[in-house]
Structure 1
Amino acid sequence: MLNQIGDSIHYLPNQNDKERPTLGLVCGDQYSLVIDSGNSVQHARDFLHEIEKLKVPPVKYLAITHAHWDHVLGMNEFEAAAIIVNARTNEIIQDWRSLSFDDHSLQEYADAKKMTSQCVETIISEIPERDTFQLTSPDIIFEGSLRLDLGNKVCVLETIRSTHTDDSTIVYIPDEKVLFLGDSAYGTTENSLYHFKQSLLLPMIEDIRKYDATHFLLGHESICDAAEMDLYWKELISASKAVTSASLEGAIAAFEADHDRKPNENELFFLKAFVNDQILKSQSE
């Protein structure tokens, strides 16, 4: 079932147990825009089934926020839509297009850690005719930003700096003050360590905060208001400031000295993630 924001924006909530991210729908007077395609053929079909119930203008565009599997593997189901990606996302999707999805190939990708076990399981269970499956190629490739008019409904797409990927696109609907962030505000996993890229934290926040938004849609969260996002940024920034080395004990001590209290659960998680970033930096030197 779709949830609604304002007059023209709908979203299918995330399902973390199935690694299904939030999917968006923005409706103008003439056309509709879908934001992210889902993690599989079945996820996309479930979304399209819900869209059909609304009797909205035809889906003319599909915007992909970034090229992780759970956001792109449903692309082929949006046959009538022009697929929009930034240039870096397109490069990664072209790599996906070279992959095979038969059992033997999937096992090889899993062994080589090119795919997670959940990705493989989802492909097996939710993509029919895998032996011939190939992602379609994007139709519109943009650099920087792109403005779409759906008919009295403007959407702004922008590639931003991100702690999650180097191909993160966000989608802003100015008259509704709604911002779809995809996974851009999250960290990422490298060498089995979940980390936030410390050098990109403040640039990312700067890129996002320039938009006057009252509602934020993240890939794997419920909808957030401005106060909730401000708290998220505050906790991330305070944790980042406390981390100057690969020592978690040192980071916690610095945080407690600065705030005269122990870190809460979120702050401790962020401290560990920034320490992991320091560990990864030291490993690469």
Structure 2
Amino acid sequence: MLKKLSNSIYYLSNQNDKDRPTLGLVCGDQYSLIIDAGNSTQHANDFLREIEKLHVPPVKYLVITHAHWDHFLGMNEFAATVIVNSETDDVLTKWRSYKFDDSSLEEYVHSNQMNKMCMEIIQEEIPNRANFKLNSPDIIFEDRLTIDLGNKVCILEKISSTHTDDSTVVYIPDEKVIFLADCVYSTTTNSLFHYKQAMLLPMIQDIQKYDADMFLLGHESICDLDEMNKFWKELTTASKAVTSTSLDHAIKSFKVENNRNPNDDELFFIKAFVNDYIIQSNKF
């Protein structure tokens, strides 16, 4: 069921058990815009059936926030102009060469081009895979793009991110709402989860320049401003404690600086920043 954020903004909540991210719908007087396409044709069609119940203006645009499979594999189901940034398109070009039969999927998993959950979702929720091929986007932008849906402006911007190099956010100024998708999350390299420490402050600056009260995230659905500020504080406090590959040293530094032990979230972030140091040190 779609949740109503305002008279013009709706969202389909994430389902972590199926690795389904939050999907968004923004409605203007003339057209509607969708944010992310879902992780499969089934996910996309579930979303479209919910949209049909609303009797909103026709969907004209679909924005893919970044090129992780759970956000774009449903894109073929939408009769809409597909918009991506240029770096997202580079990754999608690779996916357009993929075959989706079982043997090909198993080979992609074996060669680390795809994870096992992705394969299982494709097998379960994308029928007729023998003929499945990902469509090409229609509009490719570099840094920023403004879309007017009819008295409803959406600003698309490629921003710095700790999660991917191709993250796009969607900001609706008159609603003070921003769709962040996964841009504020950690990432995984060589099976090691980590937060890109060098990208943390640039990312926060890119997001905080927008006057937003509500933040929609890929796998938590929605946060208000107080929740986001708490998130930023925990992230930056954890980051300041990490200056080496030593987890023990980072935890001790945190205790000295803050006169307390890190909470569970801060400890997760500290470990992720330490892992980033490990990954960066192994590059040289």
* Aligned-partner SS, 1:99: coil
Aligned 1:262-281 pairs, distance under 5 A: 262-281=261-280
Q: How far apart, in 2, do the equivalents of 1:67 and 1:168 lie? A: 8
**Which residue in 2 is equivalent to 1:12?**
12
| Residues 215-269 of structure 1 deviation map (CA, whole Å, 9 limit, x = unaligned) | 0000000310000000000000000000000000000000000000000000000
Residue 239 of structure 2 corresponds to residue 240 of structure 1: yes
Unaligned runs of 5+ in 1: none
Aligned 1:186-197 pairs, distance under 5 A: 186-197=185-196
Amino acid at match of 1:220: H
Aligned 1:49-60 pairs, distance under 5 A: 49-60=49-60
Q: How far apart, in 2, do the equivalents of 1:206 and 1:189 lie? A: 23
Displacement over 2 Å in runs of 4+: none
Amino acid at match of 1:129: N
**Offset of residue 188 of structure 1:** 0.2
Q: How far apart, in 1, do the equivalents of 2:90 and 2:59 lie? A: 24
* Aligned-partner SS, 2:210: coil
TM-score by length of 1: 0.99
**Which residue in 2 is equivalent to 1:38?**
38
Q: How far apart, in 2, do the equivalents of 1:222 and 1:153 lie? A: 22
* Aligned-partner SS, 2:175: coil
**Which residue in 2 is equivalent to 1:110?**
109
* Aligned-partner SS, 2:53: helix
Kindly tell me the number of residue pairs found equivalent between the two proteins.
284
Q: How far apart, in 2, do the equivalents of 1:7 and 1:46 lie? A: 21
Q: How far apart, in 1, do the equivalents of 2:48 and 2:9 lie? A: 15
Share of identical aligned residues, percent? 66
**Which residue in 1 is equivalent to 2:21?**
21
Residue 175 of structure 2 corresponds to residue 166 of structure 1: no
**Offset of residue 173 of structure 1:** 0.3
| Cα-Cα RMSD | 0.5
**Offset of residue 113 of structure 1:** 1.2
**Which residue in 1 is equivalent to 2:142?**
143
Q: How far apart, in 2, do the equivalents of 1:103 and 1:253 lie? A: 49
Amino acid at match of 2:103: H
| Residues 170-210 of structure 1 deviation map (CA, whole Å, 9 limit, x = unaligned) | 00000000000010000100011110000000000000000
Q: How far apart, in 1, do the equivalents of 2:123 and 2:220 lie? A: 25
Unaligned runs of 5+ in 2: none
Residue 119 of structure 2 corresponds to residue 120 of structure 1: yes
Amino acid at match of 2:232: W
**Which residue in 1 is equivalent to 2:220?**
221
Q: How far apart, in 2, do the equivalents of 1:142 and 1:282 lie? A: 34
Q: How far apart, in 1, do the equivalents of 2:206 and 2:186 lie? A: 16
| Residues 30-60 of structure 1 deviation map (CA, whole Å, 9 limit, x = unaligned) | 0000000000000000000000000000000
* Aligned-partner SS, 1:223: strand
Residue 205 of structure 2 corresponds to residue 206 of structure 1: yes
TM-score by length of 2: 0.99
**Offset of residue 6 of structure 1:** 1.5
Q: How far apart, in 2, do the equivalents of 1:87 and 1:46 lie? A: 28
**Offset of residue 86 of structure 1:** 0.3
